[in-house]
Amino acid sequence: MEADFVIVGAGSAGCAMAWRLTEAGASVIVIEHGGSDAGPFIQMPAALSYPMNMPLYDWGYRSEPEPHLNNRRLATPRGKVIGGSSSINGMVYVRGHARDFDHWAEQGADGWSYADVLPYFRRMENWDDGGHGGDPSWRGTDGPLHVTRGARWNPLFDAFVEAGRQAGYPVTSDYNGQQQEGFGPMDRTIWKGRRWSAANAYLRPALKRSNCTLVKGFAERVEITQGRATGVILRGQPPIRARRQVVLAASSINSPKLLMLSGIGPAQHLREMGVEVVADRPGVGANLQDHLEVYIQMAASQPITLYKHWNLFSKALIGAQWLFTKTGLGASNQFESAGFIRSRAGVDYPDIQFHFLPIAVRYDGQAAAEGHGFQAHVGPMRSESRGAVTLRSADPAEVPVIRFNYMSEDSDWRDFRACVRLTREIFAQPAFAPFVKHEIQPGAAVQSDAEIDAFIAEHAESAYHPCGTCRMGRADDPMAVVDPQGRVIGVEGLTVADSSIFPRITNGNLNAPSIMVGEKMADHLLGKAPLARSNDEPWINPAWERSQR
Kindly indicate the confidence band of residue 223, based on its pLDDT and cuts at 50, 70 and 90.
very high
Lowest mean pLDDT among 55-59, 128-132, 328-332, 354-358: 128-132
Query: Do 231 and 179 belong together in one domain?
Result: no
Kindly indicate the confidence band of residue 53, based on its pLDDT and cuts at 50, 70 and 90.
confident
Query: Do 232 and 260 belong together in one domain?
Result: yes
CB atoms inside a 10 Å sphere around CB 485: 18
Query: Do 224 and 357 belong together in one domain?
Result: no
Q: What is the phi-psi region of residue 527: left when phi exceeds 0, alpha when psi lies from -120 to 50, beta otherwise?
A: left
The string of pLDDT tens digits covering residues 1-19 is 999 999 999 999 999 999 9
- Report the chain's C-alpha Rg in angstroms: 22
Residue count of the chain, please give it: 549
- Letter for the amino acid at 45? P
Q: Please check whether residue 224 lies inside any domain of the structure.
A: yes
Residue 547 makes CB contacts below 8 A (sequence gap 6+) with 345, 541
Asked whether residue 118 carries a pLDDT value surpassing 80, the answer given is: yes
Q: Please check whether residue 486 lies inside any domain of the structure.
A: yes
Q: Which SS3 state, helix, strand or coil, does residue 15 take?
A: helix
**Residue 423 phi/psi, 5° resolution?**
-70, -45
Query: Do 304 and 367 belong together in one domain?
Result: yes
Q: How far is Cα 222 from Cα 242, in angstroms, rounded to an integer?
A: 10
Asked if 146 and 191 count as a contact pair (C-beta separation under 8 A), the reply is: yes
Strands 2-8, 28-32: pairing kind:
parallel
Please give the distance of CA 391 from its chain centroid, rounded to a whole number. Answer: 23
pLDDT score for 361 = 86
Query: Do 252 and 316 belong together in one domain?
Result: no
294 is in an annotated binding site: no
Q: How far is Cα 279 from Cα 420, in angstroms, rounded to an integer?
A: 45
Q: Please check whether residue 391 lies inside any domain of the structure.
A: no
Listed residue (481, 315, 43) closest to 51, CA to CA: 43
Q: How far is Cα 325 from Cα 192, in angstroms, rounded to an integer?
A: 10
Show which of 459, 492, 520 is a domain's final residue: 459
The string of pLDDT tens digits covering residues 36-52 is 999 999 999 999 989 98
For the chain, helix (H) and strand (E) counts, in that order, are: 13, 25
Q: How far is Cα 291 from Cα 293, in angstroms, rounded to an integer?
A: 7
Query: Do 426 and 326 belong together in one domain?
Result: yes
Domain span at 329:
151-185+292-380+408-459
Q: How far is Cα 195 from Cα 222, in angstroms, rounded to an integer?
A: 32
Q: How far apart are the first and last CA of the chain?
A: 57
Kindly indicate the confidence band of residue 133, based on its pLDDT and cuts at 50, 70 and 90.
confident
- Average confidence (pLDDT) over 26-41: 96
Whether the CA torsion 58, 59, 60, 65 is positive or negative: it is negative
In DSSP notation, 70-139 reads TTBPPEE--B-BTTGGGGTS--B-----HHHHHHHHHTT-TT-SHHHHHHHHHHHEEE--TTS---GGGS
90 is in an annotated binding site: yes
Q: How far is Cα 315 from Cα 327, in angstroms, rounded to an integer?
A: 14
Residue 384 makes CB contacts below 8 A (sequence gap 6+) with 409, 411, 412
Range list of H helices, 240-391: 251-261, 267-273, 312-325
Lowest mean pLDDT among 43-52, 245-254, 519-528: 43-52
Query: Do 207 and 255 belong together in one domain?
Result: yes
Query: Do 164 and 193 belong together in one domain?
Result: no
Q: Identify any residues that bridge with 339 across adjacent strands, giving them in sequence order.
A: 183, 354
CATH at residue 192 = 3.50.50.60
The string of pLDDT tens digits covering residues 495-511 is 999 999 999 999 999 99
Query: Do 91 and 239 belong together in one domain?
Result: yes
508 is in an annotated binding site: no
**Residue 526 phi/psi, 5° resolution?**
-80, -5
Query: Do 164 and 238 belong together in one domain?
Result: no
Q: Please check whether residue 102 lies inside any domain of the structure.
A: yes
- Average confidence (pLDDT) over 458-467: 97
Q: How far is Cα 82 from Cα 88, in angstroms, rounded to an integer?
A: 10
Lowest mean pLDDT among 132-146, 179-193, 419-433, 457-471: 132-146
The string of pLDDT tens digits covering residues 328-362 is 999 999 999 999 999 999 999 999 999 999 999 87
Asked whether residue 132 carries a pLDDT value surpassing 90, the answer given is: no
Q: What is the 3-state secondary structure (H, E, C) of 271-304?
A: HHHCCCCCEECCCCCCCEECCEEEEEEEEECCCC
Q: How many domains does the chain have?
A: 2
- Letter for the amino acid at 312? L
Kindly indicate the confidence band of residue 131, based on its pLDDT and cuts at 50, 70 and 90.
confident
Whether the CA torsion 407, 409, 413, 415 is positive or negative: it is negative
- Average confidence (pLDDT) over 94-109: 98
pLDDT score for 363 = 65
CATH at residue 296 = 3.30.410.40
Q: Which SS3 state, helix, strand or coil, does residue 149 take?
A: strand
Q: Please check whether residue 388 lies inside any domain of the structure.
A: no
pLDDT score for 367 = 75
Query: Do 308 and 232 belong together in one domain?
Result: no
Asked whether residue 106 carries a pLDDT value surpassing 80, the answer given is: yes
pLDDT score for 366 = 73
- Average confidence (pLDDT) over 454-477: 97
Asked whether residue 147 carries a pLDDT value surpassing 70, the answer given is: yes
Where in the sequence numbering do the catalytic residues fall? 465
What is the rounded average pLDDT for all residues in the chain?
A: 97
Q: Please check whether residue 274 lies inside any domain of the structure.
A: no
The string of pLDDT tens digits covering residues 151-191 is 999 999 999 999 999 999 999 999 999 999 999 999 999 99
Q: Please check whether residue 362 lies inside any domain of the structure.
A: yes
- The conformation of residue 359, written as its DSSP 8-state character, comes to S
Q: How far is Cα 277 from Cα 274, in angstroms, rounded to an integer?
A: 9
Query: Do 96 and 158 belong together in one domain?
Result: no
Residue 216 makes CB contacts below 8 A (sequence gap 6+) with 31, 32, 33, 35
- The conformation of residue 334, written as its DSSP 8-state character, comes to S
pLDDT score for 434 = 98
Listed residue (307, 267, 226, 293) closest to 441, CA to CA: 293
Query: What percent of the chain clears pLDDT 90, i.e. is strictly above it?
Result: 96
89 is in an annotated binding site: yes
**Residue 72 phi/psi, 5° resolution?**
-75, 145
Asked if 35 and 56 count as a contact pair (C-beta separation under 8 A), the reply is: yes
Asked if 349 and 97 count as a contact pair (C-beta separation under 8 A), the reply is: yes
pLDDT score for 368 = 75
- The conformation of residue 472, written as its DSSP 8-state character, comes to B
Q: Rounded to 5 degrees, what angle do the CA atoms 102, 128, 114 make?
A: 5
Whether the CA torsion 259, 260, 263, 266 is positive or negative: it is positive
Q: Please check whether residue 387 lies inside any domain of the structure.
A: no
